[in-house]
Structure 1
Amino acid sequence: MTVADDFRELRARTDRVDPRELDALWGRLAPVTVDELAGGRWRGFGFDTGHPMYGRLVGSRWYGKDFTSPTDAQPLLRRDEQGEVFSDLETGRGAASLWMVQFRGESTATMVYDGLPVFDHFKRVDAGTVMGIMNGKGTLSGGEHFYFGLGRE
């Protein structure tokens, strides 16, 4: 099986995913560049590891992220009551930008929130899919990160 197959298998799980499995998968993925992410909207999904962010995002009708350019990123796209997608700048406390940041010994594309001490690090699963790890002050739960994925629209 390829690393992309392993990713899809973990994504399809209906029970909780052990964060150690996601850590091991992350270690096998290739870093991604800012240019690979920029230029469009990405549909998001979380991995249910028991991290409270998973329930918050599902409950808020999280849609994904938009990386218009390296300096113009929308970190929190949601659906309203009518199903329309909008950028929730209030909850996300502003927009974000993309930078190459060192995380776990590798430089990879990272979304830096403008108004929160939060970094979303990304690595490539395949040409249209990335895996993300939310990192920063106050983001750990029980010592664990929140893991998610994005698929390019």
Structure 2
Amino acid sequence: MLDEVWNGLPAVHVAEILGSWKGTCLDTGHRGLRALQNINWYGHTFHSPHNAQPLVRRDPDGTLYSDEDLMFGEASLWMAMFRGQLTATMIYDGEPVLTHFKKVDDRTLLAIMNGKPVALDNGRHLYYVLDRAPRQGNDAGYATPAGN
């Protein structure tokens, strides 16, 4: 069913998705759902095509920060072909993982994680929704939690 929804959505360009996004995983049984819940994943922030933060998390005090260690770096945004359509794609720096985005509306994206070995779970992709996050003060970066 999600594959059909994905196929019916329009592609999105990198310039359209710059900014901060709050993510919500869709429960398809993919093991990544539990992993993201366990680390208090908040979403993504795309400062520019070459400065993308794929793992924005909340620390115990509620402060948002980019966890560069968990996926061995951050990411960049490119236009890439996926299922026959050129669309904005996040390519992780340290893992063979790509996340492709499609436009649901002006404030919402559908994302599908692709790659190996983390992205696929018994041949299933991780799907999630991104909602444009409200601007909060200094959108240029996040605090680093104590100990990191």
* Bigger share in helix: 1
Could you tell me which runs of 5 or more consecutive residues in structure 2 were left unpaired when the two chains were aligned: 134-148
The alpha-carbon deviation at position 137 of structure 1 amounts to 1.3
Q: Residue 96 of structure 1 aligns to which amino acid in structure 2?
A: A
TM-score after normalising by structure 2: 0.88
The alpha-carbon deviation at position 59 of structure 1 amounts to 1.1
Equivalent in the alignment of 1:36: 16
1:49-60 alignment runs, 5 A limit: 49-60=28-39
2:66 is equivalent to residue 87 of structure 1: yes
2:54 is equivalent to residue 75 of structure 1: yes
Q: Deviations over 1:40-91 (max 9, x none)?
A: 1100110011100000001110000000001100010000011111000000
Structure 1 runs of 4+ aligned residues shifted over 4 Å read none
Distance 1:53 1:46 in 2: 9
Residue 80 of structure 2 aligns to a residue in which SS?
strand
Could you tell me which runs of 5 or more consecutive residues in structure 1 were left unpaired when the two chains were aligned: 1-20
2:110 is equivalent to residue 131 of structure 1: yes
2:79 is equivalent to residue 100 of structure 1: yes
Aligned residues: 132
The alpha-carbon deviation at position 99 of structure 1 amounts to 0.2
TM-score after normalising by structure 1: 0.85
Distance 1:83 1:59 in 2: 15
